[in-house]
Amino acid sequence: MGRPRMSESGTNCQYRLSSELSRLSPSTKYSSFGTTSGPQLFRDGVPDGAACADCFVGPSTGEPFGLVYLEAMACGLPVIGTRSGGPPSFINTTPGEPDGWLVTPDDERALADAMVTAINDPKQRIERGRNAYRHARDRYSWRDVARRVTDLYEIHAPR
């Protein structure tokens, strides 16, 4: 059967990750919001959780874009995601201004290491959170997105 993969999600994967985190950083406390995804996640209390969180971790291996990461970034949270799907298109894209961590998909050890680094290095975590806030607000505000869509229409409009 092989080892469980994070992309399989569920209780077994959460258990393996929590075991790895406990081994790497026994005094660290963390909370999981489960496996709910998309807009449902933020409707069901994550803004309150984000206000109390140190970082957002979303180890999805099949995220087409990743709005939930941008929502966390807009709350000032650095994010931890995987190098798959949409997140690499906006996480850590500004040279010299990291706003999160990207790990290899299905690499529980790398994910746990990134989480421990985020918690054990408050200076780096706070700096990445500030960058995340600025990047999300500068590049993904409604005004900026509307401007980019309008620009596309103007470029491609029949003349």
- The phi-psi region of residue 156 (left if phi > 0; otherwise alpha if psi is between -120 and 50; otherwise beta) is alpha
At residue 39, the pLDDT reads: 45
At residue 46, the pLDDT reads: 58
At residue 12, the pLDDT reads: 57
At residue 5, the pLDDT reads: 40
At residue 159, the pLDDT reads: 81
At residue 69, the pLDDT reads: 93
At residue 28, the pLDDT reads: 61
At residue 62, the pLDDT reads: 85
Mean pLDDT per 10-residue section of the chain, whose length is 159 residues: 40 64 67 50 60 88 89 94 96 97 95 93 96 94 91 90
- Which domains, from first to last, does the chain contain? 6-156 (3.40.50.2000)
Task: List phi, psi (to 5°) of 100.
Answer: 175, -160
At residue 19, the pLDDT reads: 72
Task: List, in sequence order, every residue forming a beta bridge with 100; answer none if it has no partner.
Answer: 79
On whether the CB atoms of residues 18 and 25 are closer than 8 A, the answer is no
Q: Measure the N-to-C terminal CA separation of the chain; round to a whole number of Å.
A: 59
